[in-house]
Structure 1
């Protein structure tokens, strides 16, 4: 028996657990994975999310571990199209923080352990969710076939178990999914060149190439490809980058390689009985633009006080409806932004590419427009 079950021990579930534990709420975080994945995955933490993360006292540790990206540059055919500064997007965090997801999760998990060493339960796969009046029970599958499972009962259950959320399926909540005609391959290599801690976008006829600094002297390269999972190895990705940008990452220094085809999914409702969806379980957003993880943290920051009010016996029906409306609107806005980012990076014939670059250069050269775009890019 506990007060709140959180299914999913990723960045959103751990953050929500930290918020609730600080408020004196008893929490169990049920995480299926036995250990944290070392894949770097999501890397961008935006200023509003850093402000939210500071509520559990981890923003400082995250900033010390990461690389603050304070500006970005767009290049095309060797020439600068435009630049963007993040200096005006936040007084406290005037940058986008680059930090691999496993490092972010490690810092959040350490904070949860400080608050309650027994809160995180690994190897716990939820196989059933049952409502019983004022309680909700999660059945945890047996660790081995033929073994005995167990049950955890709470007053509320929060599903933070990712884009393919098993809990969402158990609750019979449908999703609306959108796919895109875009495919990407990305890899992390030793940093080289003259861009330092800048983000760089190469807007080329063959499609966009994105480059971001990472801690440890690494740099991430993301290349738009013509088909899903092209089977490119580190040497092949290095060749693709070089063909479009003139920069050749050293394949021998590659630490991560992955391909993906973006999609977005919005749950048709966020509340089902005494269960609530947050993060990717509620809204999967294309990783282009790096908004999904940040959106989940902002979900959790808004949901935590509603949970505390519900546990205190106060009526929260209207608050939950308002929460679902606001977070749905935020997700749709993030989806639109991600779609616009992908459209910007699609292949164009040289004449059209020149027209688009000229338009982007004009916008970048207008300080008010530049500041507005910077704020939108950082989820302001």
Structure 2
């Protein structure tokens, strides 16, 4: 009998497990994958999330492993449109941290194992959660055999296609966007250093971010889905739109994706809570999804801990209502911001694009507007 059963050992599931373990609770983390993925889709960690990660002793390790992005720049047609200073909003973490997702996951997994070596259970395929008169039974399969884990609370951090959410009969509000992207990591032979760079071009936006190890990520907006992206075709697109040459032979990751957003009407259902992508899927353009999940977890953990310590059957209704209201508001804000980011990156006729870029360039020189933009980009 555990205090909390967490379904999903991604960055969000591991983070809330570490928080609850630090508070002295018995936690089981169930993960269907046997090994940690080497995928690095999410790379940006914003200052508020770094402050949250510091609560479990993970921030220092991640900062030591990543690249500190303190500035950004926007170009169009080879000319600089605007500059952004990401250092201003936060004194504690005056940068956006760029670090591969697998390193983030590995760091959080290490923290969980240090707190309880037996907490993480891999190879568990969760099938259902059953409420048995106050005891939540999480049932599934492991190595071909039926397994069951019992807990007072269950936290679903099992991703966009959450099994736990499906068992609750929830269908999140789905929105699709006319935006498609291909991204890849290449040897960084640019002159941009540790800057994030946006190229606002007639054919659509190109984004570029530094990664540790002399690698740079490139993201190119497309007008249609790309079924089989290749390093060569991506390198050609980058060259055509930005003039920047990348070595296709140095590619270490390539991926194509479309964009959807999902948002559940409720994140808490009795003693079952949904976090991260299980509760809200955010467009990856802007890099907010993983960060939002951590901030959700930081707000939920003390509520669950208080309920466990007072032996309450469920957390206080007012605290839960406040949690849901605040986190739903944050999710809607993140979805709106991601939608705006994508809209700014869509193709435009050259004359209209030039006029819009000139307007952005003038506006960014005003301190109040510049401060607002930077705070939006850094999730303050």
Could you state the TM-score of these two structures normalised by the residue count of structure 1?
0.98
The 2-side partners of 1:278 and 1:193 are apart by 38
CA contact (8 A) 1:135 1:274 kept: no
The Cα of 1:242 is off from its aligned counterpart by 0.1
Map Cα deviations across residues 266-314 of structure 1 (whole Å, 9 max, x no partner).
0121122320001110101000000000000000000000010111225
Provide the secondary structure at the position in 1 that maps to 2:217. Answer: strand
Among candidates 187, 212, 220, match of residue 184 of structure 2: 187
2:157 matches 1:160: yes
CA contact (8 A) 2:128 2:163 kept: no
1:44 is aligned to 44
- Structure 1, 61-70 or 167-176: larger mean CA deviation: 167-176
2:324 matches 1:324: yes
CA contact (8 A) 2:179 2:223 kept: yes
The 2-side partners of 1:170 and 1:141 are apart by 16
The 1-side partners of 2:100 and 2:267 are apart by 28
2:220 matches 1:260: no
Map Cα deviations across residues 15-41 of structure 1 (whole Å, 9 max, x no partner).
001100000011000001111111111
2:372 matches 1:372: yes
Provide the secondary structure at the position in 2 that maps to 1:155. Answer: strand
- Structure 1, 362-371 or 235-244: larger mean CA deviation: 362-371
The 1-side partners of 2:135 and 2:141 are apart by 20
CA contact (8 A) 1:206 1:347 kept: yes
RMSD: 0.9
The 2-side partners of 1:62 and 1:214 are apart by 13
2:234 is aligned to 237
Provide the secondary structure at the position in 1 that maps to 2:2. Answer: coil
- Number of aligned residues: 377
The 2-side partners of 1:288 and 1:136 are apart by 37
The 2-side partners of 1:87 and 1:327 are apart by 25
1:29 is aligned to 29
Q: How does 1:150-299 map to 2 (within 5 A)?
A: 150-299=147-296
Provide the secondary structure at the position in 1 that maps to 2:55. Answer: helix
CA 193–142 in structure 1, closer or farther in 2 if over 3 Å, else same: closer
2:353 matches 1:353: yes
The 1-side partners of 2:250 and 2:49 are apart by 31
The 2-side partners of 1:19 and 1:142 are apart by 26
Q: How does 1:108-187 map to 2 (within 5 A)?
A: 108-144=108-144, 148-187=145-184
The 2-side partners of 1:262 and 1:246 are apart by 26
Provide the secondary structure at the position in 1 that maps to 2:331. Answer: helix
The 2-side partners of 1:336 and 1:293 are apart by 16
2:300 is aligned to 303
CA contact (8 A) 2:229 2:255 kept: no
The Cα of 1:230 is off from its aligned counterpart by 4.4
CA contact (8 A) 2:123 2:142 kept: no
The answer for unaligned runs of 5 or more in structure 2 is none
Provide the secondary structure at the position in 2 that maps to 1:88. Answer: coil
The 2-side partners of 1:89 and 1:256 are apart by 32
The 1-side partners of 2:190 and 2:139 are apart by 53
CA contact (8 A) 1:131 1:273 kept: no
The Cα of 1:163 is off from its aligned counterpart by 1.1
The Cα of 1:232 is off from its aligned counterpart by 2.6
The 1-side partners of 2:359 and 2:339 are apart by 18
1:76 is aligned to 76
Provide the secondary structure at the position in 2 that maps to 1:20. Answer: helix
The 2-side partners of 1:152 and 1:232 are apart by 41
CA contact (8 A) 1:135 1:154 kept: yes
Provide the secondary structure at the position in 2 that maps to 1:180. Answer: strand
The Cα of 1:365 is off from its aligned counterpart by 1.3
The answer for unaligned runs of 5 or more in structure 1 is none
The Cα of 1:228 is off from its aligned counterpart by 1.0
